[in-house]
Amino acid sequence: MSKVVNFGCRLNNFEGKKIEELLVNNNENMVVINSCAVTNETERQVRQTIRKIKKENPDKKIVMTGCAAQISPDKYSSMTEVDKVIDNISKLKSETWTSLLDEELEVDFKEDIFDSPQDIRPSLDNKNLNIRESLVIQQGCNHRCTFCIIPFGRGNNRSFDPFYLIDEVERVVENGVKEIVLTGVDISDYGSDFDYKYNMSNLILDILDKTKLQRLRLSSIDCVEIDESFNEVLEDQRVMPHLHLSIQSGDDMILKRMKRRHNSKDVFQFVDRCKKIRKDISFGADIIAGFPTETDTMFENTYKLLRENEISHLHIFPFSPKNNTPASRMPQVSKSIIKKRAKILRDLGELILKKVKSKLSLPREILIEELNSGLAIGYDQNYIKHKVPLVGVPVGEVIRV
């Protein structure tokens, strides 16, 4: 029986779920590695997983796809354990997996992800939908942050048609989905590739106006790409009051060296703006600890930004130089200092989360996603996980505690 092993982001995991659908009638003994290339360490784990699977299951065919495969196809096709490498566009095409069953048919590898990608709309079958589900609204990224290789695995920004997306929301809601998370590579850049004015805020407002969706969340957003219409988005109580921000650093010089679009003042202003609209709002952030040239003072600026804005759900990434990126050629911070700074930020995140939890108003509105040993498990409006001792409450119910 075939299976998929996913690495990386929410988008990749969603696509891995789609690949599983496409393999459902595939009786071949196959393992698909849906890879990530965000750091060298991630790719090391990918290679390690491939070797381990092949060693434990020598009869299994291993097919490699995802961002690492797109960026470095030769590296993975040269691995003796790998039987086939599939590009990031072809991996969502049903004919790709049909062709793999026929040894005489070749699956062409699309090497240039920037040249007319012709994306497949990633849509799950009704029977495979969860209570909380992702909606992929765009692919790719137009920006070139100095630490990031992902645009070369995903291409430039391509936004999916809003009419399709609204219809997709209607379909999944009719099939039991209660909460949708807008997902992509750079969702706050949604619509910038259209030849008419339409952006992420417009899409959200149309979804809320034209569907019966109960709850909507956003994956990571870039605060400087958010327009004034987002105020109206936040005012709608169906939009969950938790935003995850792609901040990366709180120091302006480091942000400049990262080639980010925002500075620290932009973050302070955005957080303040959102808090004025939704008093119960909370924030998370992606932060890189120990970016090249980061001094103690620069690190303190990041610490201060997180503490003063009470940003609690922290994804802390110890800097790891990615091959062929500008940041990999900059003066590096020692690994011991990076490790120390990452721990300090994680500890700060735990302290802030406790403080945020103590200030949140009641009741907590928890969408039950799982039942296990007498516990109802789910997330509240501020993306805090709860395990409540309840019996007889169905999955998909919103309870108030």
Both 231 and 339 in one domain: the answer is yes
CB 244 within 8 A of CB 219: yes
Both 94 and 170 in one domain: the answer is no
Q: What is the CATH number of the domain that holds 12?
A: 3.40.50.12160
pLDDT at 201: 98
What mean pLDDT comes out for the span 171-194?
Answer: 97
pLDDT at 29: 84
**Nearest-angstrom CA–CA distance, 203 and 129:** 22
17, pLDDT greater than 90: yes
Q: Is 393 exposed, middle or buried (0-12, 13-18, 19+ CB in 10 A)?
A: middle
Is residue 32 assigned to a domain? yes
Tokens of 6: 């996913």
**What digits encode the pLDDT tens for the residues 346-358?**
999 999 999 999 9
**What digits encode the pLDDT tens for the residues 99-124?**
776 665 567 888 889 988 889 988 99
Percent of the chain with pLDDT over 70: 98
Count of CB atoms situated within 10 Å of the CB of 159: 22
**What digits encode the pLDDT tens for the residues 245-297?**
999 999 999 999 999 999 999 999 999 999 999 999 999 999 999 999 999 99
How many domains does the chain divide into? 3
User: Within its chain, how far is the Cα of 289 from the centroid?
Assistant: 19
Is residue 81 assigned to a domain? yes
pTM, to two decimals: 0.93
pLDDT at 27: 66
Q: What is the CATH number of the domain that holds 161?
A: 3.80.30.20
Both 132 and 162 in one domain: the answer is yes
Q: Among the three residues 100, 118, 138, which one is the final residue of a domain in this structure?
A: 100
Both 257 and 142 in one domain: the answer is yes
- Residue span of the structural domain in which 375 resides: 365-400
**Nearest-angstrom CA–CA distance, 71 and 160:** 23
Distances (CA, A) of 149 to 10, 53, 295, 299: 17, 26, 24, 24
